[in-house]
């Protein structure tokens, strides 16, 4: 450990990568550790910028979508939800009650048991 840093063992999956790091570090006159840290920092900076831009575009798209409904449309939707019956809404079935489509049987006997 040097100057208050922490140790992070780095294992290379490719000996070719390690050899390239060693060669480049020698050519630049820096340690392999310094070169690896600098390369990782540059990669993280770039990746962070790319991901931040993606997230900002997604957030802007979500804000545009959210803003597409007027207060009047939202109120009309809420009134319809409260006043009208939904034919597709699920309903609880009493235990032991009729199960004409075999739904309870399908969930009570999972495949592989």
Q: How many domains does the chain have?
A: 1
- Supply the range of the domain harboring residue 48: 15-84
Q: Is residue 1 part of a domain?
A: no
Helix axes 15-28, 32-66, angle to 10 degrees: 110
Q: Is residue 55 part of a domain?
A: yes
Euclidean distance between CA atoms 33 and 5, whole angstroms: 12
Q: Is residue 76 part of a domain?
A: yes
In the chain, what's the furthest Cα-to-Cα distance? 80
Q: pLDDT at residue 85 above 70?
A: yes
Q: pLDDT at residue 89 above 90?
A: no
Residues 44-75: tens digit of each pLDDT: 999 999 999 999 999 998 888 776 778 898 89
Q: Is residue 97 part of a domain?
A: no
Q: Which of 28-32, 94-98, 109-113 has the highest mean pLDDT?
A: 28-32
Mean pLDDT calculated for residue range 35-45:
96
**In this structure, are residues 35 and 21 in contact, taking their beta carbons and an 8 Å threshold?**
yes
Question: How confident is the prediction for the chain on average, in pLDDT?
Answer: 86
Q: Is residue 62 part of a domain?
A: yes
pLDDT value at residue 1? 45
Q: Is residue 95 part of a domain?
A: no
Q: Is residue 73 part of a domain?
A: yes
């Amino acid at each position: 450990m040097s100057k208050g840093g922490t140790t992070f063992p780095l294992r290379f999956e490719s000996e070719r990568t390690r050899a390239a790091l060693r060669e480049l570090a020698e050519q630049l006159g820096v340690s392999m550790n310094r070169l690896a840290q600098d390369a990782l920092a540059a990669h993280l900076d770039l990746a962070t910028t790319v991901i931040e831009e993606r997230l900002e575009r997604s957030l802007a798209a979500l804000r545009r979508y959210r803003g597409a409904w007027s207060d009047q449309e939202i109120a009309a939707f809420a009134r319809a939800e409260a006043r009208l019956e939904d034919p597709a809404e699920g309903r609880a079935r009493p235990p032991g009650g009729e199960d004409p489509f075999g739904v309870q049987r399908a969930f009570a006997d999972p495949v592989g048991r």
